[in-house]
Amino acid sequence: MQKSEFTADEELMIQREFEALLDDYAHTPHRQKVELITHAFNFAHKAHYGVRRLSGEPYIMHPLAVARICVKEIGLGSTSICSALLHDVVEDTDYTVEDIRGLFGDKIAQIVSGLTKISGGVFGDHASEQAENFRKLLLTISEDIRVVLIKIADRLHNMRTLGSQPKDKQYKIAGETQYIYAPLAHRLGLFPIKTELEDLSFKYEHPETWQEIHDKLEQVKAGQMETYEHFTEPIRERLTSMGYTFTLKARIKSVYSIWKKMMLKQCAFEDVYDLMAVRIIFTPNESMSEKDQCWMIYSAITELYRPHPERIRDWISTPKANGYEALHVTVMAKNGQWVEVQIRTDRMHEIAEHGYAAHWKYKTGESDEGELDKWLQEIKEILAHPDKDAMEFLGTFKLNLFAQEVFVFTPHGDIKTMPLGSTALDFAFLLHSELGEHCIGAKVNHSLVPLSYRLKGGDQIEILTSNSQHPQKEWLDMVITAKARNGLNQYFRREERRYIKHGELLVNDAIQMDKDLAANPDKAVARLLNYYGCANPTELYLHVGQGTIRLDNIHDIVMPRRGWRSYIPFIGRREDNIDKISAAQPLNDAAAQPNDAAKPKKKEPHAIILTDDNLGKKYMLSNCCHPIPGDEVLGYLDDEGQMHIHKIDCPEAALLKTSYGKRIYSATWNTHRVQSFVETIELKGIDKFGVFIQVLQAITQEFHINMRSINVSSEDGIFKGTMEIYVYDKSELEDLLKAIRKIDDIKEVKRVTIEN
């Protein structure tokens, strides 16, 4: 951070921002504590005096902006405002938490302390090195949720001002925002903040794509608003005749949301039909329930416009896990455009905008436990049995930040909320870990289904168990919930400890039964470690306990006859080493492909340019996402100093950006059309005579592209195929996909990533 005296204009700017904060606060229903907030501002201003951000503006503008987000966009009160103003004082100045406690009391000191603890923790430079840092963040959720809410406000302002940061820092901050902060904001019901965090993350990770979609959106906005006016005119008349006080709002999809739809549907911007939604926010009459009045308005809307039969969402009868309530229906406008209508009361709208803060405001009593409260209880359960590995722990927690849910029923009719994509095995662990560990299958709607069955909304599930059933490692691939994954990992850790204990007994017994070895047991264990390539005795005991290492010839291993050559390593370890050697060939040392005769074999010294301090460093293209020239990429430096190139939107890269921020480097392609790369495309279409011949002609004759493999199958008049082809770069691949889409009877073609 820079430091210099503030000018008179800067002091005036600071005072105006503080007055704007007080004005925001005055428009809230909170009990006004202006004197306390003014005291906190003056203290923070003095503590940060002369300090500037990278952008050059006075640092105090950041705490002021965070405080304004807390009050205006989240709906928090004076305690949170003061904590936001003071949130960086302890970390960045000589003041301590005790100083804060003496001046502002225990509660504000506790929140500032929580914010200080996590500032260098999971989202700091050494995040992945200790799981305890991440536990601190989660503990604050159960101790005082305001710590996390202020942290989200802090991140939102950092994202709004991210342009002043260097490129690699932008990748790290945007990556962890997309990975943790946006889902966390969604889980706490902060929908506008979640949307903005996603959009800003996308803007900094894919600036060109973001700008392209943004420009197209600006071009069609006028037409969308014209549709909105025509569409809402009869709705206004009908609601007025019904006697309601109401507000109508147009909601245009964000750039990120549009891009996500384009990727999901593999379609162009012009084919995204639901760019706009209409919100009806009304004040309910006290003589009737909110639910009944929402359905009355629904009936009025569907009398005016024809509804889509499969796009009705009732979040009133069963609110979302984050407290969201509304009635959604998609109807056909007069111009043939589908428009989603969201029906909410004033109370529902405040919860949708302000999330957790509004959720607590409207709680009706001690027994009023919603899904959000249950989620907090799940967080506490995860904390009781954390993963040792910080990245595993981070992943487990993220599983609990699911965005979409399904509602299912127990045999007794109790309703349970599950993440979309949950399996019968997830449901078993939700009910009880014992049920999960011994689950052999389930009955869904009275029909037998396997453990891997994906639950659907409205399913009634009965779990079937057997005492002889025990978890298998493959089960981890079947579950998506944090509770199930945590339960399985606990079981495997217990089993591992049992194997280690059993293996240690076997090794000790084998040594004691041989008088030559019993004379020096430590030397015997050391020889076994060396022979089998084990890093420590615990690893040896584990393999022995599991039966993958046998001790039948222990004497010959520990006491070899003279003249023997060096030991033969443990077979599994040799295979691991072979894999590492073959995978570590850097791009600039590797030939293209053995059968790529039609492609030039010329090599460039560096096909990737890394940031200045890594120029010339050898690197490898990651198998998880198969980047090719034209893809937006970044570099990750591993523990051995090897640079790995990932696509920016690669899921693996998302976790690396979150956990290893200081090892992330910006990278760009230096040259195209030097070397060909294997890419896989998937296509579907109507199985008519000659259609696939047209595809092959486009690939080989129009684009002169070589193919490595073709796999095609047909069923009920529909064909599906995957093809591995050699391309130079992303633009060549995209041109090919466009050409194939133009072929009659080809309904879908896309690039797919298959991990090697």
Q: What value does the mean pLDDT take over residues 298-307?
A: 93
Q: What is the pLDDT of residues 76-86, one digit of tens each?
A: 889 999 999 99
User: Any idea which of 263-272, 610-619, 669-678 has the lowest mean pLDDT?
Assistant: 610-619
Q: Please give the pLDDT value at position 143.
A: 62
Q: Which two tokens stand for residue 339?
A: 């428009």
pLDDT (0 to 100) of residue 450:
86
Which strand (E) or helix (H) includes residue 332? strand 327-332
When mean pLDDT is compared across 50-64, 161-175, 592-606, the lowest value belongs to: 592-606
The most confident of the ranges 190-204, 358-372, 679-693, 737-751 is: 190-204
H runs (alpha helix) in 480-570? 482-512, 515-518, 521-532, 537-546, 554-558
The pLDDT, as a whole number, for residue 530 is 83
> Residue 46 — pLDDT band, cuts 50, 70, 90?
very high
Specify the range with the lowest mean pLDDT, choosing from 104-118, 371-385, 696-710. Answer: 371-385
- Asked if pLDDT for residue 344 goes beyond 90, the answer is yes
What phi and psi, each to the nearest 5 degrees, are found at residue 99? -60, -45
Count the neighbouring beta carbons within 10 Å of the beta carbon of residue 584: 13
Q: How far is CA 21 from CA 13, 24, 52, in A?
A: 12, 5, 20
Of 153, 146, 91, which Cα lies nearest the Cα of 116? 91
- Of residues 667 and 232, the one with the higher pLDDT is 232
More confident residue, 671 or 265: 265
Structural Rg of the chain based on CA atoms: 30
Check whether 696 has a pLDDT greater than 60.
Answer: yes
When pLDDT is cut at 50, 70 and 90, the band that residue 589 belongs to is very low
Query: 714 falls in which pLDDT band (50, 70, 90)?
Result: confident
Q: Is the pLDDT of residue 324 over 90?
A: no
pLDDT tens across 254-272, in order? 999 999 888 877 788 888 8
User: Is residue 568 predicted with pLDDT exceeding 50?
Assistant: no
SS3 707: strand
User: Is the CB of residue 301 less than 8 Å from the CB of residue 341?
Assistant: yes
- Residue 91 sits at φ, ψ, to 5 deg, of -70, -40
Does residue 396 surpass a pLDDT of 80?
Answer: no
Average pLDDT of every residue of the chain: 80
pLDDT bucket at 188, cuts 50 / 70 / 90: confident
- pLDDT tens per residue across span 141-180: 556 778 888 989 999 999 999 988 888 888 888 887 887 7
At 211 the pLDDT is 94
The percent of residues above 90 in pLDDT, for the chain, comes to 28
> Given this model, what pLDDT does residue 64 score?
95
Percent of the chain with pLDDT over 70: 80
Give the Cα separation of 366 and 691 in Å (integer). Answer: 65
Cα–Cα distance, 191 to 472 (Å, whole number): 38
Q: Which residues of 362-487 form beta strands (DSSP E)? A: 405-409, 415-419, 439-444, 447-449, 461-465
Alpha carbon separation from 86 to 80, 99, 498 (Å, rounded): 10, 11, 50
Return the higher-pLDDT residue of 716 and 184. Answer: 184
Query: Residues 6 or more apart from 156 whose CB is under 8 A from it?
Result: 69, 73, 193, 196, 197
C-alpha triplet 375, 381, 387: angle, nearest 5°: 115
* Residues that are catalytic: 91-92
pLDDT digits (tens, 9 = 90+) for 274-295: 788 999 999 999 889 999 999 9
Query: Which backbone phi and psi does 549 adopt, to 5 degrees?
Result: -120, 125
Confidence of residue 230 (pLDDT cuts 50, 70, 90): very high
Which one of 75-84, 395-404, 551-560, 655-664 scores highest in mean pLDDT? 75-84
CB 304, CB 241: distance < 8 Å: no
3-state secondary structure of 97: helix
- Which token pair is 224? 């969308």
Alpha-carbon torsion (242, 247, 250, 254), positive or negative: negative
Return the closest-CA partner of residue 344 out of 262, 430, 278: 278
Q: Can you give the pLDDT at residue 597?
A: 39
Q: At 379, is the pLDDT very low, low, confident or very high (cuts 50, 70, 90)?
A: low
Length of the chain: 756
56-65, 183-192, 627-636, 647-656 — which one is most confidently predicted on average?
56-65
Does 445 have pLDDT greater than 90?
A: no
Q: Is the pLDDT of residue 364 over 50?
A: no
Residue 650 has pLDDT above 70, yes or no: yes
Half-sphere exposure of 348 (CA within 13 A, CB side): 24
Q: Is 612 helix (H, G, I), strand (E, B) or coil?
A: helix
pLDDT band at residue 351 under the 50/70/90 scheme:
confident
Q: What is the pLDDT of residue 756?
A: 54
As a whole number, mean pLDDT of residues 334-344 equals: 89
Strand order in the sheet with 338-345: 245-252, 276-283, 338-345, 327-332, 306-314
Residue 205 has pLDDT above 50, yes or no: yes
CA separation for the pair 394, 654 (Å, rounded): 12
CA distance 112 to 66: 13
